[in-house]
């Protein structure tokens, strides 16, 4: 709230001095994103950009930025949340005496929300903005939310549905040796049913594909506040490795949030190309598609994959031309993943960095 | 289990008599689906089809049907669940001394699972098969699952994540006047935040787009076992009306399950084309796309939309050429939907049948 106020006051002061008010924010895009070796995260460089009112190319976005800032101030003031879709609808209107709409679509308002994050150095969740939720958590974690205490081991087989904003959540108790982050909901349900969490003193988290911001933030908080080691379990394909990469290092698009969302200490347990030979899974692999190969080649250049373990895996995939899903382990037996594959790899610490 | 055993015994008897064993099931597809006026559901006709072993065109599917039946028997026996993806991986292998695979992809095993449902007249959830989960529930419902009792009003703002299989769930207590089924998760979160459930003594259910089988089954059970009236709240577009239609009448593909999944008594609250005029929402509509218009014209022919209320709405949409999202109500104010739109329409019973 103070940051929004300060921005507004500064702009007002400029106007009163008869100057052209401008909003300054960190520049975005590839040419301002670096891999920060020390923090082991994708972070923004120090390039800035300014958006000024008296500039035809900027005026519309200038107005939009302030409209969204104002809406966020009101949300925080009354302690309400709005989805980024609602933001668009709330602010859309035709400007008086013109035919100009404030916003033409959500594709116009979403980037401005990200701009505001880079202007104020806060994230949208702190400004009470939400997005579609995804992801589940199961295990010995007691979460407090809106006056309720939720025991995530006592919610039946379904577990806890992770909200899109996890800022307000508190950890009353976290009793586990590690958290296993799982790409597919079906594998998560398999492990819940096999009582993997109880038998291995683990917390299970399903991302359901690419991890949503709320899920990444929750993983980050569980690691940093509750000191849980994080082990990531994805499909053995370029998309699965990308999911891991984003959980670990952050993403180019949201590089300014990496220190809040990334968990550089996390480790990758599988699926790996080595698993295919070791566990005799050759018959349940699938051929790489062209898009997979393109992404794979990009990943071979990622700074954090510049170590012999990952290079070895990525080269094997390129050479073999195959991918493998985590659910392919069911070919051995339904229990195999819970009774052999995971416990064996965890006890031997067979992780990729 | 008995039904699977009986099928196997019958086939075995045929083989022992030196006859060609065959599996008989209800025929599927449009030409065996009817709108049952009495039950007000899409149901299968009485056409049957047979799959026989000594028929080159049937032999492969015959084998697959029995493989899946056998796996389901084992699952039920050991009280385990498997995802339909795991089913594929569990059963995939190369047949001894041939180059033939039992299954080439999940697109081969999924339809066979549906065949088995139509053969045995049970549904896959009863055979312990699961699929990807979707959907949330919030409100005064106490659900029992796997020994836990879950109070769905005490799970923070997130609510209860509906599992893909709801067969094993029990309702320990349901305290509400009605259930509101909501298309988008964001609108669900809005209503949770506005305390709509408490203030209106309602249960909130988010489908997150097309309702998954588990969600449809839960709605059906809440209506039939807990006697909750069901009110459906979707976007005002042909896709939203289709979502309503499937919740109410069932779908063509799963017509054999309509009596387990459908809820013909449910009612539609919005969004309607009439809402646009009545609440002055003209500026937050969007143009219909070609695909919308195609679907809209199909819907005008649906038997259950053959009443003046629906025809009036559908014609208005065709004429106006616009659609409206439920979140467009945020244009009035964030609270509008919870404080005015829904309570007003509910108290006046302004529903479509």
Tell me: pLDDT of A183 over 80: yes
Q: How far is B151 from chain A (nearest CA, A)?
A: 9
Query: At the topology level of CATH, where does B136-347 sit?
Result: Dna Topoisomerase Vi A Subunit; Chain: A, domain 2 (3.40.1360)
* pLDDT tens by residue, B16-37: 999 999 999 999 888 899 999 9
For residue B41, what is the enclosing H or E element? strand B41-44
Closest CA to A162 of A185, A128, A187: A185
The radius of gyration of chain B from alpha carbons, rounded to an integer in Å, stands at: 23
Task: Report yes or no: B83 and B59 within 8 Å, Cβ to Cβ.
Answer: no
Dihedral in degrees, nearest 10, Cα atoms B56, B59, B61, B62: 150
Where in the sequence numbering do the catalytic residues of A fall? Answer: 89
How far is Cα A15 from Cα A6, in angstroms, rounded to an integer?
Answer: 14
- Kindly tell me the burial class for residue B316, based on how many C-beta atoms sit within 10 Å of its own C-beta (0-12, 13-18, 19 or more): middle
Residues A190, A193, A197, A203, Cα dihedral to 10°: 60
For A326, the closest chain B residue by CA position comes to B86
Helices A56-78 and A84-91: angle between axes, nearest 10 degrees: 110
Which of A92, A132, A186 shows the shortest C-beta gap to B186?
A132
Whether B190 and A163 lie within 8 Å, measured CB to CB: no
What residues does B157 pair with on adjacent strands? B155
Q: What is the pLDDT along chain B (353 residues), one digit of tens a residue?
A: 999 999 999 999 999 999 999 999 999 888 899 999 999 999 999 999 999 999 999 999 999 999 999 999 999 999 999 999 999 999 998 898 998 999 999 999 999 999 999 999 998 999 999 887 889 999 999 999 988 999 999 998 888 989 888 998 999 999 999 999 999 988 999 999 999 999 999 999 999 999 999 999 999 999 999 999 999 999 999 999 999 999 999 998 889 999 999 999 999 999 999 999 999 999 999 999 999 999 999 999 999 999 999 999 999 999 999 999 999 999 999 999 999 999 999 999 999 99
Contact A137/A116 with Cβ under 8 angstroms?
A: no
Give the whole-number percent of chain A exceeding pLDDT 90.
87
Q: Which helix (H) or strand (E) holds B230?
A: strand B230-233
Token pair for residue A268? 């990758």
Domain-by-domain residue ranges, chain A? 2-130, 136-347
**CA angle at A187 for the pair A181 and A188, rounded to the nearest 5°:** 55
Cβ–Cβ gap B148/A155 under 8 Å: yes
Cβ contacts of A322 within 8 Å, gap of 6 or more = A276, A285, A286, A287, A288
For residue range B109-133, what is the model confidence (pLDDT) as tens digits? 999 999 999 999 998 999 999 887 8
CA dist B9 → A131, B5, B14, B21, B77 (Å):
53, 6, 9, 11, 17
Interface test with A, best of B156, B271, B284, B341 (most A CBs within 10 A): B156
CATH (residue range A2-130): 1.10.10.10
The string of pLDDT tens digits covering residues A263-312 is: 999 999 999 999 999 999 999 999 999 999 999 999 999 999 999 999 99
Indicate which residues of B carry an active-site annotation: 89
Residues 6+ apart with CB under 8 A from A132: A83, A164, A212, B185, B186, B208
B86 contacts on A by Cβ (under 8 Å): 186, 190, 327, 330, 334
CA distance B149 to chain A (A): 7
Q: Do domains B2-130 and B136-347 have the same CATH topology?
A: no
């Amino acid at each position: 709230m103070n940051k929004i106020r300060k921005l507004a006051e500064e702009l007002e002061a400029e106007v009163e001095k008869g100057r052209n008010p401008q909003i300054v924010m960190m520049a975005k895009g590839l040419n301002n994103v670096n891999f920060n070796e020390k923090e082991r995260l994708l972070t923004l460089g120090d390039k800035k950009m300014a958006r000024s009112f008296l500039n035809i190319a900027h005026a519309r976005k200038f107005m939009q930025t302030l409209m969204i800032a104002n809406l966020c101030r009101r949300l925080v003031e009354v302690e309400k949340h709005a989805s980024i879709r609602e933001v668009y609808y709330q602010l859309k209107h035709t400007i008086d005496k013109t035919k100009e709409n404030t916003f033409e679509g959500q594709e116009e308002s979403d980037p401005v929300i990200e701009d505001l994050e880079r202007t104020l150095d806060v994230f949208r969740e702190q400004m009470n903005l939400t997005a579609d939720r995804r992801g589940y958590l199961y295990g010995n974690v007691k979460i407090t939310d809106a006056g309720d205490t939720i025991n995530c081991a006592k919610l039946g087989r379904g577990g806890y549905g992770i909200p899109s904003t996890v800022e307000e959540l508190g950890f009353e108790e976290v009793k586990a040796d590690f958290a296993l982050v799982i790409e597919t909901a079906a594998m998560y349900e398999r492990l819940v049913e096999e009582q993997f969490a109880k038998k291995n003193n683990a917390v299970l988290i399903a991302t359901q594909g690419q991890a949503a911001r709320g899920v990444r933030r929750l993983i980050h908080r569980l690691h940093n506040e509750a000191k849980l080691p994080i082990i990531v379990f994805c499909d053995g394909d370029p998309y699965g490795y990308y999911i891991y990469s984003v959980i670990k290092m952050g993403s180019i698009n949201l590089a300014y949030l990496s220190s809040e969302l990334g968990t550089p200490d996390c480790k990758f347990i599988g699926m790996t190309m080595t698993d295919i030979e070791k566990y005799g899974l050759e018959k349940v692999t699938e051929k790489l598609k062209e898009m997979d190969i393109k992404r794979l080649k990009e990943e071979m250049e990622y700074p954090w994959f510049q170590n012999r373990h990952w290079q070895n895996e990525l080269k094997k995939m390129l050479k073999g031309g195959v991918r493998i899903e985590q659910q392919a382990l069911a070919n051995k037996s339904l229990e195999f993943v819970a009774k052999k594959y995971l416990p064996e790899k965890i006890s031997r610490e067979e992780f990729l960095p």
